[in-house]
A and B are shown apart, each in its own frame.
Chain A
Amino acid sequence: MSVRANVKALVVHTLLGAAVIYALYPVLWVVTIAFSRDGLGTDGFVFPWPRDPSFMNFAIATGISTGKGALFLRQFVNSLAVASATALMSVAVAAPAAYALARLPFVGKRTGLRALMLTQMFPTVASAVPLYFLLSQLHLLDRRAGLVIAYSASALPFAIFQLKAAFEAIPVELEEAAMVDGATRFGALVRVVLPAARPALAVTALFAFMSAWNEFVLAATLMSREEAFTLPVVLQRFVGEHAAAWGPFAAGSLLVSIPVMAVFYIAQKQLLSGLTAGSVKG
């Protein structure tokens, strides 16, 4: 490698290193709180580090210290199930819609797209109560399916926009080839377009997963059994009217974020590798 390339690499790593520090510094505070027996220090020190490291807060957050470890596990499974199902469902519903918006001409397309954007503009200040009413009418209260449906619906608009843009970037000949090869239009979507749009699908799914994984207001309102709670609800239990148990809260938050990061680390190659290269001339 030439000196120039070395210098360049150095600059890139420095920039990325700075970004990593920016990204991690506040989280180190959370880590410190999570590992401190007596909460956060008050010295106003610059480098966060637990002075008396202990796993006590983790034991409290996971309910191990109160003998509710099994319940926590169940709630973890709830979260995982709800978030994965939300990811799958929102992608499954958004993909055909996005495909139609990207490729098929139909009456009301522009209006529909605009209306979809409009739904995102309305703040949800006053819509929680009607939503509760609706889901109770549908007998979906206290059920994970209810949460999945509500989360998926709210993740849909973004998913549709994202996938529509991704589908438009895929050469139309690919589907046509599949259709000539004997696929129906829907078959071409499933067998050719979706695999070719895998990065976008993954990003969309990740987004839906994250929004469900961290949501708590709706979950706390809709779920009325402890076994049905998701992790954010459990975490939020550490916040009271006048004071909060920050130690367990921070510990729980870290635990909650570990699976997400693990999924991202493992899946990122899939998430972020170009696929359409080589499909058409060039």
Chain B
Amino acid sequence: MKAQKPRAPWKAWFLAFSLLLAAVGLVASDCKAPAANRIVLWHAYRGAEEEAIAQLGARYQAETGTAVEVLAVPFLAYASKLSSAIARDQGPDVFIDAHERLSSYREEGLLARAEAAFPKYDIDRYDSIASTVARDEDGAAWGVPFALKGVALIVNTELMPELPASVEQLVKARNDGVFPLAYESESAYVHAPWLHAFGGAMLGPNDAYGFTGESARRSVAFARGLVSSGVVPNGADGALVKQLFESRKAAAIIAGPGVVSELPPHFPYQVVPLPPLRAAPSRPDPFLTVELLLLTPRTASRPEVSAFARWLASDEAAKLRVRAQVVANNQPWHDDTVVPVAMRAFHEAALRSRPMSTRAAMRATWEPVEQAIRGVMRAAAADDAAIDAILAESRRRFESARPRAVSASPTRGLVALGLGLLLTAIALYRRAKPRFWSGVRASAGAYAYVVYATIAVFVLVVLPLVAGAVMSFFAGPRHQMTYAGLGNYVDILTARGGPLFGYGSFYRTLLVTVAWTIANVALHVTIGLGLALLLSRPLLRAKGVYRTLLIVPWAVPSYVTALAYKGMFHQQFGAVNAILRKVGAEPVAWFSHFSTAFAANVATNVWLGFPFMMVVILGALTNVPKDVLEAADIDGATPWQRFSRITFPLLLPQLVPAVVLGAVWTFNMFNVVFLVSGGEPDNQTDILVSEAYRWAFTRHAQYGYAAAYAVLIFGILWLTSRLSRRWQAEST
């Protein structure tokens, strides 16, 4: 064996210590204090738009001397960050957001009136729709019109030299290996033009679900026709659409300005509004989103903020923005020298678009509508009756997700709380025999060891969880929650009146979650253990390289790899099906069936999780004494006996916490489900937490409902652990 050179322990300590110092120093030396009277602007723009805003901020600062701080926030965190920060008076002075969210921001009290930034006499400077949505029924301004967002048709002028006069014409222009049209066929947002063309609306008056009846049926039948005839690629997402267009595999796409700004230079394209759909009575108008500059309450007494907002939305500034976005101002569009051609086309398209409803219910339509679209796309046969059944189901889902007017008298809850506290106190008092207190005193030394961990976990982990749990007794959107007693729980446990084992019901989802957990943990442990055992063979060469390569799945951020997996499982373009085709097997529509979609999720999560288990087991293996193994060898144990009788039992103490925690984490692992299958088909692969997240973030932002799910999940895990402990105690 290798002779070990004596170690110089001080070296390691010195290294660790200097690392510690560096880390502490860096953490302590936080950013310099911000300028006192600065104006803070938040937005979630990317690319050219982000640059334009940054330049405008810098320019304003240079011209007026007012410090301007522009922060680009990741879109995924934008909404929650805004509402948390503004509520704590830590947020921006001005922020940019879509008009759909204006009313809920107002209700939450996160906005100040924008009269000074958007005076009455400015109304005509902006597009009239934009001016309208920025003001309330009484004409008071709550935001400043800023930009318009919508989709248009982007045509590759080489593949399609003649601009199509109608959708029918567009569809007929078939080239070999080229899709005449590509769009996110399963997105409700991009599907909306078809619905509008056939005379429908996503959301009717009084928040009525609009994706039903004749118009919806015809729109989905039409979309299904596009896909099934091979005109439009199946199940493409935004990235794939862009991809197809850039690689000249799609002659035209329906997309927003973002795609255009990222096209390589000299790419032959032209942007036009969506051409008419001859088969339909109306124009296929896409949705329009108006982006507004919104002022937060703390700016009410700061005229300089209003001045800044007004300037940002001014024609002068708009001339600089117009290269990057469709500004809401009228004037720049008259000036041909500043407006890029593509933007003008998007502007034209925007003027023909239909502003999205500002109702909170609007956002809750996406999920059922998209389910309906996917359902129809995947149905074996799509006659009217079949489509109607799917639409009816989606409507039922929408209705059942609608917030209900649950309100309960808090008295009973308070009485229960009081009683509970009293009983706990009595129980504690009873346990608190003199021996208990002397025990506590004797434990003082040990408490000194656990005090920091206890405080940290209690304050930063337990308190937020308890606060979250309390929300489960309330219903409604976050800013106006009403006490609902056990209403949320009753709702969930009765599957909101639907069939108890129907899709999306608590019980069915629970079964899926259990299967999900078992499958994942079993595979994590098996693979992790197997690899760890292989890697701990003393004579193995290139151990270090293997180990490092095998932790790659853990090292690469899971967000991107999960999406890579989603791409790999794509029916038409995914690598998995490509491999299947290579070996002569039938490609699989992975996300159309529960079993395959579930398998795809599990494959992803196993891939993400096995390195962790492997490292934990490798660490634990170092504690298995060699001499015991040698003794077993001498006793004539086979390798399997050696493993099962010695190694495994000795590993177990360290393996158990990792496995138990792994199981709990897997039970609550929502992002893989979200990113890979997205719950497809029909929420069947959703697990309990992903269901909870849907309630919190897509279905009318019903946090109380999500919290009730969380408490139920907690209850299930707690019960399981209790039962398993009892079972364990009985078996030994």
**Chain A residues with a Cβ under 8 A of chain B:** 9, 12, 15-16, 19-20, 22-27, 29-30, 33, 37-46, 48, 66, 77-78, 80-82, 84-85, 88, 93-94, 96-97, 99-101, 104-109, 112, 115-134, 136, 141-145, 148-150, 152-154, 156-158, 160-162, 164-166, 168-169, 185-186, 195, 199-200, 202-203, 206-207, 210, 214, 216-217, 220-221, 224-228, 232-233, 235-246, 249-250, 253-254, 256-257, 260-261, 264-265, 268-269, 271-277, 282
Cβ A26 vs Cβ B607 within 8 A: yes
**Interface residue ranges of B223-262 to A (CB < 8 Å):** 238-240, 242-244, 246-247, 249, 255-256, 258-259, 262
Complex contact A261–B464 (CB within 8 A): no
Q: List 9 A-B contacts (CB under 8 A).
A: A39-B242, A44-B572, A84-B22, A121-B718, A123-B688, A136-B90, A224-B42, A253-B560, A264-B551
In addition to A240-B258, A243-B259, 14 A-B residue pairs with Cβ atoms within 8 Å of each other are A12-B534, A30-B564, A44-B577, A123-B714, A125-B707, A127-B464, A127-B468, A130-B463, A203-B619, A216-B74, A224-B81, A243-B238, A261-B551, A277-B626
Give the docked Cα–Cα distance between A242 and B71 (Å). 20
A166 & B44 in contact (Cβ 8 Å cutoff): no
Q: How far is the CA of A42 from the CA of B627 in the complex (A)?
A: 56
Least Cβ distance of B270 to chain A in Å? 19
Residues 15-26 of chain B, each 1 if its beta carbon lies under 8 Å from chain A, else 0: 000011011101
- Tell whether, in the assembled complex, residue B238 and residue A225 are in contact, meaning their CB atoms are under 8 Å apart: no
Interface residues of B in 538-570 (CB under 8 A from A): 539-541, 544, 546-561, 563-565, 567-568
Contact present for B560 and A121 (CB under 8 Å): no
Specify which of B19, B547, B558 is in contact with A214 (CB 8 Å cutoff).
B558
Q: Is B618 an interface residue (CB 8 A)?
A: yes
Contact A246 B558, beta carbon cutoff 8 Å:
no
Interchain CB contact (< 8 A) of B460 among A118, A149, A160, A264? A149
* Given contacts A16-B546, A136-B88, A168-B653, A94 and B453 within 8 Å (CB-CB): yes
Decide if B623 touches A220 in the complex (CB within 8 Å). Answer: no
Known pairs A39-B239, A243-B256, A272-B618; A20 contacts B546 (CB<8 A): yes
B692: CB under 8 A from chain A?
A: yes
Which of chain B's residues have a CB closer than 8 A to the CB of A108?
440, 443
Evaluate contact between A123 and B461: CB separation under 8 angstroms.
no
Q: CB < 8 Å: which of A119, A243, A261, A276 contacts B242? A: A243
- Those 7 A-B pairs whose CB atoms lie nearest each other, nearest first: A126-B468, A106-B443, A81-B26, A220-B77, A153-B460, A100-B449, A274-B622
Instruction: Please give, as numbers and ranges, the residues of chain B lying within 8 Å of A224 by CB-CB distance.
Output: 40, 42, 71, 81, 85, 90-92
Provide the residues of chain A in CB contact with B530, threshold 8 Å: 15
Interface of A, helix, strand, loop or mixed by DSSP: helix
Beyond A144-B27, A153-B456, A206-B615, whether A40 also contacts B74 by CB under 8 A is: no
Contact partners of A125 in chain B: CB under 8 A: 468, 689, 692-693, 696, 706-707, 709-710
Q: Give the shortest distance, in Å, between A3 (CB) and chain B (any CB).
A: 15
Known: A123-B710, A130-B463, A214-B558. A44 touches B76 (CB 8 A): no
Q: Output the nearest chain B residue to A148 by Cβ-Cβ distance.
A: B27
With both chains docked as a complex, state the minimum distance between the C-beta of B473 and any C-beta of chain A, in angstroms: 12
Query: Nearest Cβ distance between residue A27 and chain B, in whole angstroms?
Result: 6
Q: CB-CB < 8 A to B561: which residues of A?
A: 26-27, 30, 253
Contact of B246 among A39, A117, A166 (CB under 8 A): A39
Q: Hey, what's the 0/1 contact readout for B289-317 against A, CB within 8 Å counting as 1?
A: 00000000000000000000000000000
What total of A-B pairs shows CB separation below 8 Å?
437
Contact A203 B616 (CB under 8 A): yes
Within 8 Å of chain A (Cβ to Cβ): is B446? yes
Return the contact of A143 from the options B30, B446, B564 (Cβ within 8 A). B30
List the A residue with the shortest CB-CB distance to B612: A207
Minimum CB distance partner of A207 in chain B? B612
A241 near B75: Cβ-Cβ < 8 Å:
yes
Residues on A with C-beta less than 8 A from B578 are: 43-46
Q: A101 touching B714 by the CB < 8 A rule?
A: no
Pair B449/A97 contact, Cβ less than 8 Å: yes
Cβ-defined partner of A12 (8 Å) among B537, B612, B653: B537
Once the chains bind, are B552 and A23 in contact (CB under 8 Å)?
yes
- The reply on B665 being an interface residue by CB < 8 A is yes
Which of B110-118, B359-367, B370-378, B656-664 contacts the other chain?
B656-664
Inter-chain contact A220/B668, CB cutoff 8 Å:
no
| A237 surroundings in chain B (CB, below 8 A) | 46, 72-74
- Cα distance, A128 to B577, chains bound together (Å): 39
Query: A88 and B664 in contact (CB under 8 A), knowing A122-B469, A131-B464?
Result: no
Name the residue in B84, B560, B579, B707 with the highest tally of chain A Cβ atoms < 10 Å from its Cβ: B560
List, in ascending order, chain A residues with CB within 8 A of B264's CB: 37-38
CA distance A131 to B468 in the complex (A): 10
Are B81 and A121 in contact, with the CB atoms below 8 A?
Answer: no
Q: For the complex, is B467 an interface residue (Cβ under 8 Å from A)?
A: yes
Q: How far is the CA of A199 from the CA of B440 in the complex (A)?
A: 33
**Known contacts A37-B264, A106-B447, A42 near B240 by CB under 8 Å:** yes
| B72 x A27 contact (CB < 8 A) | no
Contact check, B247 vs A38: say whether CB atoms are below 8 A apart.
Answer: yes
Whether A235 contacts B557 by the Cβ 8 Å rule is: yes
Q: Are A226's CB and B450's CB within 8 A?
A: no
CB of B721 within 8 A of chain A? yes
Chain B nearest Cβ from A61, distance in angstroms? 11
Q: Which listed residue, B240, B258, B450, B459, touches A100 by the CB 8 Å rule?
A: B450
B51 pairs with A66, CB closer than 8 A: yes
Residues of A within 8 A of B607 (CB): 22-23, 26
Q: Is B611 interfacial (CB-CB < 8 Å)?
A: yes
* CB proximity of A129 to chain B, nearest CB, Å: 6
B residues less than 8 Å from A200 (CB atoms):
619, 654
Pairwise interchain contact A221-B80, C-beta atoms closer than 8 A: yes
Is there an interface contact between B71 and A226, defined as CB atoms closer than 8 Å?
A: yes
The residues of A that contact B447 with a CB separation of less than 8 Å are 100, 106
The yes or no answer to B522 lying at the interface (CB within 8 A) is no
Task: Give the shortest distance, in Å, between B53 (CB) and chain A (any CB).
Answer: 13
A39 to B244, CA, bound (A): 10
Residue B717 at the A interface, CB < 8 A?
Answer: yes
User: Quick check: is B574 within 8 A (CB to CB) of the other chain?
Assistant: yes
User: Which of A37, A142, A240 meets B46, CB within 8 Å?
Assistant: A240
Q: B456: shortest Cβ distance to chain A, in Å?
A: 5
Judged by a CB distance under 8 angstroms, whether B205 is at the interface is: no
Q: Mark B642-681, 1 if CB is under 8 A from A, else 0.
A: 0000000000011011101100110110100000000000
Of B72, B239, B457, which one neighbours A153 at CB under 8 angstroms?
A: B457
Query: Given the complex, which residues of A lie within 8 Å of B544, measured CB to CB?
Result: 265, 268-269
The answer to whether B718 touches A227 (Cβ under 8 A) is no
Look across to chain B and name the residue whose beta carbon is closest to the beta carbon of A159.
B453
Contact B258 A242 (CB under 8 A): yes
Contact residues in A for B624 (Cβ distance below 8 Å): 274
- B401 contacts the other chain (Cβ, under 8 Å)? no
Residues of A within 8 A of B436 (CB): 107
**CA of A187 to CA of B552, assembled, Å:** 38
B547 touches A268 (CB 8 A): yes
Residues on B with beta carbons closer than 8 Å to the beta carbon of A240: 44, 46, 75, 258
Which of A23, A200, A276 gathers the greatest number of chain B CB atoms within 10 Å? A23
Q: Which residue of B lies closest to A99 (CB)?
A: B449
